[in-house]
Structure 1
Amino acid sequence: MLATVLLSLAAWGPAQEVEPPSVPTSLDKVTVYQGQALVERVGNYEAAAPGVYRIQLGPFPMSAHLDTFHARVEEGTARLLDLEVRQAMGKAFESEERLGKEKELEALRRVRSDLEAELAGLDMEEKLVQAMIQAVENGRIPAAYADPEDPESLTRLFDLIRHRSRDLFQARTDWKRRQSQTDLQIAALEEELGQIQSSIRHLDCSLLLEFEQAGVANFRLSYLTEGASWQPTYEVHVAPDLTGVTVSLVARVRQSTGENWAQTRLLLSRTAPSLELEAPELPVRVLEVPRPGQVPETLAETDVGEGTLGDHRPGLPPHYPLNQRNTIASNGENHRLVLRQFRMQAETRRYIFPSRSRHAFVQAEIKVLGDSPLPEGPAKIFLGRDYLGETRFPLLQPGDTTTVHLGTDPHVSVEVQKVRDERDEPGALSSTVEITRVYQAWIRLQPNAPGPADLVVEEVLPVSGSGGVEVEPVEVQPMPLRDPDSVRDMREKGVLRWRMQLMPGAEQYLRWGYIYSFDEDAEPALLELPREGGG
C-alpha cells in the first residue's frame, strides 16, 4: 500500500506554478506633461467563484517608471491585494507573418497617399465653386459660366453651384471617414511591427485580486512614462484686407514612449506630475552674519517655490482637454491638435522710419477678447493664404495687446533727401562749432490702394550723451504728436512721432532737422545704440 502511494507521488512529480491568465487592457486616457506622460488603461476580469486570483497585464514599454505603476478596482466585488511589476523579454513574430504585415502597411500607406491626392482635387474643385460664387456676388459673371442677360442660363448656373456644393460636402465627409479609418489601421499595424524584434525587453504587471463572490471586476492601471511632450503654438490668420484676425491655439504633441496611443482621450497639462507621498519636514531656519572671509555653505531660500506646478502661471488653465479621441504614434514626430479657435480685435497701421527704410511696414495690434488668458508660445503668421513668418506671443491676459508684423505695404512709397548739412566754425570771440542737418520726406499712397491707410511715422534726433554737446530740433514740420508718451520719448530719446491717414492717391510731406553745438577742441561721434526694451 505504501509503495503504491510513493509511486503515485513520483508519477505526479513536483508541484508546478500555474501561469496567470493574460488579461488585455485598452488605452483610455493619456495626460501629457513636459517630458513625461501619465498613461491610464482599463480592463476587466471575471471570476467564476470567490477566491484570490492573479492576472497578468502587459506588455508595457521600458520607458515606464517601475515605481509609478498604480492600480485600483473601479467597479465590482473584488479588492486589490498586490501589484507587481517586472522586466520580461518579448516574443518575435515569425518571419512570414512579419513580411505580411509590412506589405499590409505599405499598401495602407499607398492608400493614404492616394487620399491626400484626392483631397487636393477636392480643394481645387471647392476653389472653382468659390470663384463662381464670387463672380455672381460681384456681378461679373464670365461668359464661360452663363449669359448674364439670359434668366434660364443664370438658373442653370445657380443649380450647378447648389448641386456641386452639396456633392463636395458629401465627398469631403466621406473622405474624412476613409482617412480616419486608414489612419487607425496604419497605427495598429505600426504598433504591431514596433514589437517585431528577436528580443523585445518590456515590462509586465501582475495584479492579485480577491473576490468576495463570483463576478466581474473593472480596474484601472496607470503609470508614468518618459519621452512625451507638447508645446502650445499659434496660427494667426489675418484677412487680406486687414479687417480681421483669426487665431488658432494649436498643440504640437510628440512622443517616443515605445507604445502608440491609438484613439485615446488626451489631456495636455502645463503642470508637472508629483510622485511624492510624504509631506516635507519642517527645517530650522537660522539667520546669522558670517565672520569676515567666511562663505556659508548653504543659503536657505524662504521664497515659496513652484512645487510641482511646472510652467503653470496665475490665470492660465493648468490643463487643456481635447474633446475628441486622437491617435499619436510613437515616432517622435509632431502631431497638430487644435485646442481653441477664436477671433481677436485688430487695429492695423503702417509704420515708417524714413531715414532707415523706404518701406512702410504693416503692423497689426491685436487685443485678447473674452475672459481666458493665452499662454506664451511661438506664432505662425499668415496673411490670407500667404505664410509670412514666425513670431512669439508673450503671456497674454484678457484685454492685453501684442503687435504682429505683416511685412511691407507695396502701395506706400517713401522718398527721403538731405536738404541742409552746414558747419559754422567759431568766430573770433567764440570757440563753439555748430552743425545743422535738415531732412525731408514724401510719403505717398498709390491710387490703386484698396482703401485709406493709417500711418505712424517716427524719426530719431541725436541726444546729448555728455555735457559737452547741446542738441536742438529745428524745422520740424508738421508738428509731431504732443501726448505725454510722445513728449517723454522726444525729451529722453529724441523720438519724433507723427500719426496720419492717407487716402488713395494722396501724399504727406515731412521735414525735420537738428543743430548740435560743441567746443572746437572736441569732435563728437554719432553712435547708434539699441533702444532699451527693444523699441
Structure 2
Amino acid sequence: MKTLTSKITNVTVFKDRAEVTRQASVEGLAAGEYQMVFDKLPKNIDQNSIQVNGKGNATLTNVKFETVHYEETPDLDRKTLYEEQQNIQDELRLLDDELNRLRKEKEFVDGVGKKLITPATTETTLELDPQKWANMLAYFKTELATVDKAIFGVEKNKRSWENKLNRINHQLQQMGQGKRLSKNQVTVWVEATQETSLALELSYVVYNASWRPVYDLRVSTQDKRMHITYNAIVEQNTGENWNDTLLKLSTAQPQISGQQPSLSPWRINLFVPKPPPAPAPGAARGMSNMIEAPMAQMYTSELDTGALMDELEEEMVMAKPTSAVETGATSVFFSVSGKHTVKSDGTEHRVTIMIEDFSAHFRYSTVPKLSPYAYLKAKVRNETAYPFLAGSANVFLDNNFVSTTNMEAVAPTEEFWTFLGIDQGFKIEHKFLKKYEKQEGGIFSKKTQNIVYEYLIEIKNNKTTQEEIVVWDQLPISGNDEIKVHLLEPTYKEDSDKVKKNEYEYIEWFFKPGPGEALSIPFKFAVEYPRDKQVDGLV
C-alpha cells in the first residue's frame, strides 16, 4: 500500500459547500496490482461525492472510502518526558521496597530488645552481669541509630524523586495527553498492464465553504456613468487549506431584495364584534388585514430574474474580464483568473470577477408615508455577459462613500434600477390634514356614512438641476362588498404619464421639478360603508 503525496489544484465554491480536486503522480510503476491511498482527507467530506480519474497504462479496479481511527503519536518532547516519568516511577518503587525492609529491620531490633528486658511471668528472670547488659544496650543503640539513619536517607531521597515526578506530570499536563483521533482516506486499486507512470485525480465535496457577491458602485452624476467592480468574498473552514489553487465560483438562482420601504396593501372590512363574555381588553384595532405584496416599478422595465444555469458548457471570454463566465439553466459559474490561497480559518478572501463602466439614467423615488427621504436610484443596462447576482454593494457618489445597498439579480442585456441611498437635496413632508364625514348627496345615501381622509404631500427640489422623482402612496383595499373606497384626488380614470394606479391600489405620481421648485400633491379619498357597521383597518 502506497500513501500518495497529493496537492489541491482546483476548487469550485458553491453557496454552502465546495468541490475540491486533488492531483497525485506516481512514477515508474512495474506491471502489477497496487493499492494507493489519499490520506488525511477532511472530516466533513461527502463520501457520496467522491470521484477518481487517472491517466496512464493502468486500469482503475476499485475505490473505497473509510474512516480510520488511530492513537496520536507523541512528539519527541512528550516522548522524552514519558520515558523520564517511567524511570522516576521505577526508582520510587525501589525506594519504597528499601523503606519496607528497613522498617521491618527496625521492628525486629525493637522486638528483640523488648523481649530481653521484659520479665516473663512464667519463666525465670534472665540474669546477666552488668558488663554484659552494658554491651547489649550499646549494641541495640548502635543498630537502631544505623537503621534510623538509613530510613531518613531513603525518605529524603524519595522526596527528591517525588518532586521530580510532580514536575514531569505538570509538564505533561500542559502539553496534553495523547488523543484518540480519526482520519478519512480514499484507497484506490489500480492494475498496471505494463511499466507506467500514473496521474491520479481525486475530487470530493466538503461543507463549511461559501462565497457571496459584493459590489463597489462608483457613480458620477456629472458624467452620468456607473463604474461597477464585481467582487466575491470566499471563506472556508473545511479543515484543509487551499494553497495556490485555481478557483471557480458557482451559485444557484439568487433572491431579489429591495432597498426603500415598501407599501403593503391597505385592506378594510366591516367590524364584527367578538361574542361575550368580553372583547379584548383595551387593545387598539390595528391594520390586521394588511398583507405583503410587491411594489410594481411602473416607470421602469420589469426585471425578469429568470433561472440561471446548472451545467457548464461553453466558456465565454469577455473583452475586459477578470474572470471567465459560464452560464447554465439554474446557476452561474465564474472561473477566477490566477491562483489563490484560502486558509481554513474562516478568513474572508476577496477575488475580482469583473470591472466595467456603464452609462446610467438617474431618478429619485420617495414613499412619504413611510420615510421623509428621497432615494436616488440609477437605471443601467447590463451590456456584459456576466449575470449580476443578488448581493450587497458599497455606493460611492462622486468619489464620496454615501451608503450600502443591495444589488438585485440581473441577467445579461437586462436593465435594472439600483438604489444609491438618500439625497438631502429634496425636502419631503407627508401631512395628515383632516378626517370628516361627508354629508352631501351624490354617490352617498342616507343609509351609509362617508368618511373622507385628506392628506398633503409637499416636496421641494433644493438642487440646482431639474430632476425626475416618483412619489408613492396608497388607497385602502375593501375586503367587503358593503365597503367602497373612492379616490377623490388626484383625478384618475386610467394610467397616464403623470399618475398611475396598480392592482394593490398603490398611487404613483411622476414629476420633473426644476431647481428650487416646490410641489404640493393633494391626496384625498372617501370610505363609504353602512351606518350600522364599523370598519376595521382604518386609522
Three-state SS of the structure 1 residue aligned to 2:384 is: coil
Please state if 1:352 is matched with 2:341. no
Change (3 A) 1:451 1:200: farther
User: Which structure has the larger Rg over C-alpha atoms?
Assistant: 2
Query: In structure 1, how many angstroms separate the alpha carbons of the residues matched to 2:480 and 2:61?
Result: 81
* 2:213 matched residue in structure 1: 233
2:469 partner amino acid: L
CA shift digits 1:224-258 (9 cap, x unpaired): 24324324423251416383334444433333332
Q: 2:459 aligns with which of 443, 449, 456?
A: 443
* 1:409 matched residue in structure 2: 423
Query: In structure 1, how many angstroms separate the alpha carbons of the residues matched to 2:374 and 2:338?
Result: 44
CA shift digits 1:288-331 (9 cap, x unpaired): xxxxxxxxxxxxxxxxxx9x969999645553322211112122
CA shift digits 1:109-158 (9 cap, x unpaired): xxxxxxxxxxxxxxxxxxxxxxxxxxxxxxxxxxxxxxxxxxxxxxxxxx
Q: 2:525 aligns with which of 490, 495, 514?
A: 514
Please state if 1:254 is matched with 2:270. no
Q: Offset of 1:204 from its aligned partner?
A: 4.5
CA shift digits 1:352-408 (9 cap, x unpaired): 334554322323344433344444x332342345363453624x3334444433332
Three-state SS of the structure 1 residue aligned to 2:468 is: strand
* 1:391 matched residue in structure 2: 406
Q: 1:379 aligns with which of 392, 397, 400?
A: 392
Q: Percent identity between the aligned chains?
A: 17
CA contact (8 A) 2:231 2:352 kept: yes
Query: In structure 2, how many angstroms separate the alpha carbons of the residues matched to 1:82 and 1:518?
Result: 79
Q: Which runs of 5+ in 1 are unaligned?
A: 1-19, 98-195, 272-305, 529-535
Richer in strand (by share): 2
Query: In structure 2, how many angstroms separate the alpha carbons of the residues matched to 1:229 and 1:37?
Result: 6
2:27 partner amino acid: E
Please state if 1:219 is matched with 2:232. no
Three-state SS of the structure 2 residue aligned to 1:331 is: coil
The 5 A counterparts of 1:172-251 are 200-205=181-186, 214=195, 217-239=197-219, 241=221, 243-251=224-232
Q: Offset of 1:88 from its aligned partner?
A: 5.6
Q: Offset of 1:51 from its aligned partner?
A: 5.3
2:201 partner amino acid: L
Change (3 A) 1:401 1:236: farther
CA contact (8 A) 1:230 1:268 kept: no
1:330 partner amino acid: S
Change (3 A) 1:41 1:459: closer
Richer in helix (by share): 1
CA shift digits 1:335-361 (9 cap, x unpaired): 333333344554332223345543223
Q: Which runs of 5+ in 2 are unaligned?
A: 80-176, 253-306, 313-325
* 1:59 matched residue in structure 2: 40
Change (3 A) 1:231 1:72: closer
Query: In structure 1, how many angstroms separate the alpha carbons of the residues matched to 2:452 and 2:65?
Result: 83
The 5 A counterparts of 1:145-184 are none
CA contact (8 A) 1:480 1:498 kept: no
Query: In structure 1, how many angstroms separate the alpha carbons of the residues matched to 2:246 and 2:178?
Result: 29
CA contact (8 A) 2:238 2:344 kept: yes
Q: 1:322 aligns with which of 329, 336, 358?
A: 336
Change (3 A) 1:237 1:214: same
Three-state SS of the structure 2 residue aligned to 1:325 is: strand
* 1:29 matched residue in structure 2: 10
* 1:9 matched residue in structure 2: none
Query: In structure 2, how many angstroms separate the alpha carbons of the residues matched to 1:463 and 1:204?
Result: 64
1:28 partner amino acid: T
Please state if 1:361 is matched with 2:375. yes
Q: Number of residue pairs matched? A: 366
Q: 1:47 aligns with which of 8, 11, 28?
A: 28
Change (3 A) 1:240 1:526: farther
Higher alpha-carbon deviation: 380-389 or 501-510: 380-389
Query: In structure 2, how many angstroms separate the alpha carbons of the residues matched to 1:367 and 1:37?
Result: 32
Change (3 A) 1:406 1:68: closer
More contact order relative to length (CA 8 Å, sep ≥ 6): 2
Q: TM-score, normalised by structure 2?
A: 0.55
Query: In structure 2, how many angstroms separate the alpha carbons of the residues matched to 1:433 and 1:62?
Result: 72
CA shift digits 1:478-505 (9 cap, x unpaired): x89843995553xx55544321222322
2:517 partner amino acid: A
Q: Offset of 1:263 from its aligned partner?
A: 0.5
Change (3 A) 1:433 1:53: closer
Q: Offset of 1:410 from its aligned partner?
A: 0.7
Q: TM-score, normalised by structure 1?
A: 0.55
Please state if 1:459 is matched with 2:440. no
The 5 A counterparts of 1:96-107 are none
* 1:483 matched residue in structure 2: 496
2:39 partner amino acid: G
CA contact (8 A) 1:47 1:211 kept: no
